[in-house]
Amino acid sequence: MAIKNAGSTLNFSEIENEFGRNGKRSLGNYRVSDSFADDRGGHGSQVGNLPLDAGVPQSGTIKFSDFYSKRLNMIVDFYSGNERTRVDGRRKYNNRPDHVRCVGGFRSRPSNSSGTKVILHVNDTIRSEKSDNRRVVAFRTGSWNGGTTLQIDVGGGGRILGAGGDGGKGADNENERGGNGKNGNSAIGLAYPVTINIASGGIVAGGGGGGGGGGGAYDSDKNDDELASGGGGGGGAGKPSGRGGRRGNGWEADGQPGSNGSTLGGGSGGDGGDEEEARGGRGGNGGGSGSDGQNGERGSGEDRSGGGSKGQNGYWLVTGGNSYNLNNSGSANGGVNGGGYS
């Protein structure tokens, strides 16, 4: 629980109850520049040398009045690994107390977070899982006790990425449309109000939508019948990225498959088959980070079918109706959705 406001005498025991007992039981020992998170894991986490709480001096004169209204600060470790899949901030706080640093190192984390400040610090890659549901997210805040001040810090090496959508299949012939691209899904989901800080170089992005598959085409004349199938759509950007769509498969000119997306870039759509008067439609390109894919192109010929529809992008943030403040020096791509996350 945060220390009381100014207006009455503050006892040293009240400071100890909040921040823990330092070795010398000295007010001066609370002048800390805590670099624990920067030092752990070798990732350059960019938490910085933190004070006990904002406004508590790190050097020079320190006095009892500096501690009024101050609260325990804690950092939850999403910075000392390499890659994580679909994490939950509150679940880690509850289940991995060894991954929660109380600034200053004077105590262990309380089970009830009310009255504290919790920093979910990300300097690893956090990825989603394949799903066409745009509200599936890679990073979930989880629910917190009322009175918690919650913050997400994304360092310069941090990546929170939704999954990319797969590209649609190219049409086999003029009687079927190209397959639709799949949707990308999303990066962060909120179940509690939060401040989000994205440092320079940090990236938070929804997955790109997959490209639609190209349509088929058929042409008939007195000398020959000609059939061309469509190209596959490109996969969307994300982690995991979208797979390129399969080519159409006819009895003459087949299209080409779409290419897979990458972590931050969409894959190219495959060319449609070319049988002179009959040409299959090209598959649409997959969307880059936080972007829709492209529609597949219609085939060209006497008879032809349309291309598949593009997959839509995932969101960088799904708010669940919760408020947020954003301080962004990096990248946040994909827009915001006000609904709940999955």
Summarize pLDDT for 158-186 with one digit per residue, the tens. Answer: 999 999 999 999 999 999 999 999 999 99
| Residue ranges in the chain assigned as alpha helix (H) | 12-19, 36-39, 89-95
Checking if the pLDDT of 246 tops 90, the result is yes
Checking if the pLDDT of 223 tops 90, the result is no
Percent of the chain predicted with pLDDT > 70: 97
Checking if the pLDDT of 238 tops 80, the result is yes
Instruction: Determine the Cα–Cα distance for residues 211 and 113; give it in Å rounded to an integer.
Output: 44
Would residue 134 count as lying in a domain? Answer: yes
Least Cα distance to 319 among 299, 342, 340 occurs for: 340
Residue 156 belongs to domain spanning:
31-164+183-206+315-337
Predicted local distance difference test score (pLDDT) of residue 221: 76
Instruction: Determine the Cα–Cα distance for residues 21 and 27; give it in Å rounded to an integer.
Output: 10
CB 129 within 8 A of CB 93: no
Q: What is the pLDDT of residues 41-71, one digit of tens each?
A: 555 556 678 999 999 999 999 999 999 999 9
Would residue 235 count as lying in a domain? Answer: no
DSSP codes of every residue in 262-286: -SSSPPPPPPPPEETTEEPPPPPPP
Would residue 114 count as lying in a domain? Answer: yes
Percent of the chain predicted with pLDDT > 90: 87
Would residue 121 count as lying in a domain? Answer: yes
Checking if the pLDDT of 95 tops 90, the result is yes
Would residue 178 count as lying in a domain? Answer: no
Buried b (16+ CB within 10 A) or exposed e, 121-141: bbbbbbbbebbbebbbbbbbb
CB 235 within 8 A of CB 289: no
Count of domains forming the chain:
1
Predicted local distance difference test score (pLDDT) of residue 204: 98
**H or E element that contains 220:** strand 217-220
pTM: 0.93
Compute the C-alpha angle 78/79/84, nearest 5°.
55
Would residue 77 count as lying in a domain? Answer: yes
Q: Judge if the upstream peptide bond of residue 240 is cis by omega within 30 degrees of 0.
A: yes
Would residue 293 count as lying in a domain? Answer: no
Would residue 266 count as lying in a domain? Answer: no
